Structures are given as structure tokens and as C-alpha cells.
Structure 1
């Protein structure tokens, strides 16, 4: 039996391109999954693997569809090999469970992990550099004076929250959070 496995990382992403490609390669059954590859939890793939029989074939469009961790990826390839299940990666045009395919996959996977770590390092260095140059990260805080003014208006009971928000620029969520933080209550008339 020829199985296809299509995975995307988020629920908003689309599997259509992978599914069409897998159909073009003769997949009789296509398993779909929407789950991040950085964790190695893929319930649909795990279920599929448990049902494999010797001689079955698994086809994926790209190596990163199985995950991004080299060691776990190679363990999966070895597990499939021991089950006599072949793994074909369309993007690379290789049978990953064969000796040369496994070697190529090992090198490629290691390069992929290195690239991801390098991107993370660059991003963190950029953030540190921006902070060192005075760039404020995250949401900007409202000046304390504006929050105090919004609370005064709220305590006066003359204005709606929307009017206070418009006059001071302090959002209702900030206003309510500050009211709760200060333990304030308005007297009922």
C-alpha cells in the first residue's frame, strides 16, 4: 500500500498543494495533520506507523513534514526500515530508508537544524541590538498621568468608559486592570 503524509504547522495553513502532489505520486491513502513539527507529537502519523505492514511505502513532499529534529527524524527512518517500509521524499527524489538516502537525509537534516538555529541566533542578536539602542520592545505603556486621569474621570461617574477611552487614549482593558489593581469601587447613587 502506498501512503502519503501531509502536514502543516498551524490550523490556518492549507494542505491542498501537498495533497495534490501526493496524489500525483500514486498515494492510495493520504494522512493529513495540522501540528507543529518542532514537537514530535503527530498523532495521525503515529497511528499510521502502527498500522504499517512490510512492503508498504510512505511518501512525503518535503523532509521537514516529518519534523525538524535530526535525531528523531533518523530514528523514524530507522524504525520504518526495520518494519520494511520505504520512505520516499519527493522534494529530494530519494528513498530515505536506503543506505545512500539515509546518508543524504542525515546531512540535509543537520544543515536544516543548523539553519534554524542560525536564524534564531540572528533574531535574538537583532533584538538585543535594538534594545541596546533604546528601542522599546512590546506594547508601549501609557504614561501614568494618563491612567490616573482616566481613573479620576471614571470615579466621577459622569463619563462612559468609551468617552474616557476617547478623551485619554487609555484603553478600557488598561483602565479596568488598573481599577482592579488599585482595588477601587464606585459608590452606587
Structure 2
């Protein structure tokens, strides 16, 4: 696909999404919101799953996130892409759920080798198969990091939040945020160092 075609497709997709949002904001249009959910449900599930590592909990929380998005959609101000707005809701919900479970979150986390990852939340078989093993490997490595460090690494290195945003989301100081990210990255490096063959296999 050339750049012109890609630009046209992106523009059409953006216009389609904007029309859906306007319908929901104006008329609480449930059908329009259903189509919005279908655009982003897999990505939001992926966000939540990286925190909880439990399929049932992640599915439940993903539904809660979109219910909250529907209730609060008039608060969406168009200052950033709609996905980022929903993503922030998802992160807040996931953080609160982790705090609720506390140490029990480890016992609730499922074996990543036996759990469908985010790709399995997508209807397309091609999407479900693409990178599945690599996702399981990364999820398994993340699951071995202690919860506060895992949360910080996911927010910074996977979800792309700034240090300031992470401090706001987690209600912790900047120094604590940076320390947790550094410790989490170090733990990941140690895990990857102990799994050299797998790292090489997945091209990481």
C-alpha cells in the first residue's frame, strides 16, 4: 500500500470514528457506540490484560471500561484521539483492580502459556495468530515482575505515558515513578538474560 492510499484510508477511518462519537454524544446512540467498541475492544483488553494477567478479570474490566466511556462520553473534549481517552479510563480501572487484589493478584494471574492473549479477543483469525507466541512470551516475562514495577513499566514502555502522567495516574511522586521504572526494567533484563534462547527466537 502506497503512502497516498494509506493516508486516504486513515482519513476515512478518522472521519467514520468522529461521526460515531458525535452520534453518541448527541443522542446516546447505542448502535454507534457498539461500532466504537468494536474499533477498540481488542486494544483496550490488551491494556487491561497486561496489568491483570487473568482473562476473565480482563474481559470483565474491559466491559466496565466501555460502560464508563459510554456514561462519560460527553466529557470527551476532542483534545486527543478517542482511543487515548478510553485508554486512560482502562489504565485507571486496571490500577484500581490491582490495588484491590493486592498480593492476591499473583494467585489470580493465570499461566500465560495456557491463556488466550489480547489477539484472541479479535475476531479475525489472521490477527489472532499474528505474533501470538511473542505476546505470550512478553506477557509471561511481565507477569514475573513485582506488581508496582510491572505497572510502571507497562505505563511507560508499552502504553507510552510520560513520567508526569504516570505520577498522576498512580498518585505517587516523580522519584518513586522513575525508581519503579528503572527497577522494573532491570528485572526484565534479568529475566530476558536467563531466557536467551527464547529472546533470540522472538527477535528481541
TM over 0.5: no
Whose Rg is larger?
1
Which is richer in helix? 2
| TM-score scaled by length of structure 2 | 0.25
| TM-score scaled by length of structure 1 | 0.26
Which is richer in strand? 1
